Amino acid sequence: MELLKQKILECGRALDEHVLLVDSFLNNQVDVKLMQEIGREFAGRYAGAGVTRVVTIESSGIAPAAMTALEMDLPLVILKKSKSSILKDDILQTEVFSFTKNAPYQLTLKPQFIQPGDRVLLIDDFLANGEAALGASSLLERAGAQVAGIGIVIAKTFQPGLKKLTEAGYRVDVLAPVKRMAAGVIEFD
Ligand code: G4P
């Protein structure tokens, strides 16, 4: 998606080979017009895919996912991150390890917001190691849903997430695939 790539080149900052700072339009401040275009892009790619619900992971996934849900006229469900596991009938959880934060968390779904047979479009802002997306997909499948696809705003394709998800059989749509970074350098696939 050219508009997004331009924005990343103009406003993003590669801190080093691993970390891309996009706080001015995605993580801390949000460019809502760009999010609207991102929503239109995902909606176009998944038109006719039989999607019944859009799902995301708090917090930075919410803006692009909300715009996607708006464009597709579908409900948006948010998976929360909890520090500890909660044993309750109305909650599904799975442990996800965040390599960026070097700590595990419990990804949490309230299954009353997913119907068995739902076809879910999972949207997230970043794909790095793929642990969050794999955890989310397994939770959704445990709730009886099918993952129609995974829509990622920015993927660092030199990290293992994209390969893991495609090898697991998921359709993955990446709007801005970043193949290489260095201080002050950002290159797309
Ligand atoms: P994974 O989800 O692909 O397994 O990767 P990882 O555990 O490494 O990512 C943990 C968090 O760091 C996620 O956000 C992810 O979006 C974010 N992240 C990973 N690489 C980058 C990067 O290069 N730049 C930025 N800006 N973020 C990155 P999170 O902790 O869940 O944060 P939030 O969604 O609550 O904002």
Note whether 165 and 149 are within 8 A (CB).
no
Dist. CA 93 → ligand 1 center (Å): 19
pLDDT given for residue 106 in this prediction: 96
State if residue 19 touches ligand 1 by the CB under 6 angstroms criterion: yes
Exposed e or buried b per residue across 31-62, where buried means at least 16 C-beta atoms within 10 angstroms of its C-beta: beebbbbbbbbbbebbeeeebbbbbbbeebbb
Note whether 67 and 39 are within 8 A (CB).
yes
- Of all protein residues, whose CA lies closest to atom 19 belonging to ligand 1? 128
Q: Which atom of ligand 1 is found nearest the CA of 132?
A: 2
Per-residue pLDDT reduced to its tens digit, 3-27: 999 999 999 999 999 999 999 999 9
State if residue 22 touches ligand 1 by the CB under 6 angstroms criterion: yes
User: Distance between CA 121 and CA 147 in Å, rounded?
Assistant: 6
Q: Which atom of ligand 1 is found nearest the CA of 26?
A: 26
Dist. CA 100 → ligand 1 center (Å): 6
CB burial of residue 182 (10 Å; 0-12, 13-18, 19+)? exposed
Q: Specify the pTM.
A: 0.96
pLDDT given for residue 89 in this prediction: 76
Per-residue pLDDT reduced to its tens digit, 19-65: 999 999 999 999 999 999 999 999 999 999 999 999 999 999 999 99
Dist. CA 21 → ligand 1 center (Å): 11
User: Distance between CA 47 and CA 98 in Å, rounded?
Assistant: 32
State if residue 157 touches ligand 1 by the CB under 6 angstroms criterion: no
State if residue 99 touches ligand 1 by the CB under 6 angstroms criterion: yes
User: Distance between CA 126 and CA 7 in Å, rounded?
Assistant: 15
SS3 assignment, position 33: helix
